[in-house]
């Protein structure tokens, strides 16, 4: 199974800065044996990057979210199908910042996953617990619930379109990373959940990424764990040198 190293730029970079970052990543890219490289720039740039990216680019594009609706009178929204029509093949859904700050409920996340898969986008589905939930030992139960709900409409035949990103909220943007053992423990648990919801073949084939203050100094250890298939990277994806170091860590894992 190939790893994924995906950069979530969030609301950072202007159009030209992002273009330069993608060019620098392509320039420094090692030959990729086992890693798919994805970046998720702000939505207004996606069509431009897709149209102007060189044919030899090894960087695939993702959106950071999509509308829960399909086409219609939904001012300001962009649909999964629109992303696909721009040459975008991936979308992040259920990021904790969307859930917490933009009111994305379980129902919204579940329906966005369905919209995205119907439009033939590959979904990077995020799950993760707060510090309070972890301290109360509720993290396994919560992750099981988040995944079960988000994947309610996704039958086994559609699971090839899903990658899961485990992102403990207490580790996002805080500099505090889950230990490699904590990541492995949760990733193994997620795989078990996939075995019981689907089967062991699907559980084995589904990629599970770690996210939350992942950086060159901790990536070797985290990516080295058997159930970790790469990372969803925020801060360290905004700089070509650190993003390339993370890609190299994935290649070496």
Establish if 214 lies at the interface with ligand PGA (CB under 6 A): yes
- The correct pick among 3, 8, 64, 229 for binding ligand PGA (CB under 6 A) is 8
In the bound complex, which residue of the shown chain has the CB atom lying closest to ligand PGA? 234
CA distance 190 to 167: 12
Cβ contact 32:3 at 8 Å: no
Closest separation in Å from C-beta 156 to ligand PGA: 27
Question: Residue 151 to residues 96, 110, 123, 166: CA-CA distances in angstroms?
Answer: 17, 7, 11, 15
CA distance 252 to 33: 10
Establish if 64 lies at the interface with ligand PGA (CB under 6 A): no
Q: Is 95 in the active site?
A: yes
Closest separation in Å from C-beta 31 to ligand PGA: 25
Q: Which of 97, 139, 167, 187 is catalytic?
A: 167
Collapse the DSSP code of 152 into the 3-class scheme (helix H, G, I; strand E, B; otherwise coil) and give the result.
coil
Q: Which of 95, 122, 139, 187 is catalytic?
A: 95
Per-residue b or e along 179-190, where b marks 16 or more CB atoms closer than 10 Å to that residue's CB:
ebebbbebbebb
Nearer to ligand PGA, 53 or 234 (CB): 234
Establish if 172 lies at the interface with ligand PGA (CB under 6 A): yes
Collapse the DSSP code of 219 into the 3-class scheme (helix H, G, I; strand E, B; otherwise coil) and give the result.
helix
- The correct pick among 125, 133, 232, 247 for binding ligand PGA (CB under 6 A) is 232
Residues with catalytic function: 95, 167
Residues that bind ligand PGA (CB under 6 A): 8, 167, 172-173, 211-214, 232-236
């Amino acid at each position: 199974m190939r790893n994924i190293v995906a950069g979530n730029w969030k609301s950072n970079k202007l159009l030209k800065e992002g273009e330069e970052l993608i060019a620098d990543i392509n320039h420094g890219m090692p030959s990729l044996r086992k890693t798919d490289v994805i970046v998720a720039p702000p939505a207004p740039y996606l069509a431009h990057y897709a149209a102007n990216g060189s044919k030899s680019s090894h960087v695939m594009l993702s959106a950071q979210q999509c509308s829960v609706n399909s086409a219609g009178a939904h001012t300001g929204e962009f649909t999964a199908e629109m992303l696909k029509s721009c040459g975008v093949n991936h979308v992040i859904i259920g990021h904790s910042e969307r859930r917490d700050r933009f009111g994305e409920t379980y129902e919204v996340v579940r329906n966005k996953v369905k919209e995205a898969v119907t439009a033939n986008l590959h979904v990077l589905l995020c799950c993760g617990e707060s510090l309070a939930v972890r301290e109360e030992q509720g993290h396994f139960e919560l992750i099981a619930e988040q995944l079960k709900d988000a994947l309610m409409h996704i039958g086994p035949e559609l699971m090839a379109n899903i990658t899961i990103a485990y992102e403990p909220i207490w580790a996002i943007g805080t500099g505090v990373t889950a230990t490699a053992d904590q990541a492995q423990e949760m990733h193994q648990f997620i795989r078990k959940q996939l075995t019981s919801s689907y089967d062991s073949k699907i559980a084995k084939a589904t990629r599970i990424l770690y996210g939350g203050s992942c950086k060159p100094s901790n990536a070797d250890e985290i990516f080295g764990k058997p159930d970790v298939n790469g990372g969803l990277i925020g801060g360290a994806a905004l700089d070509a040198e650190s993003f390339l170091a993370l890609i190299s860590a994935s290649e070496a894992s």
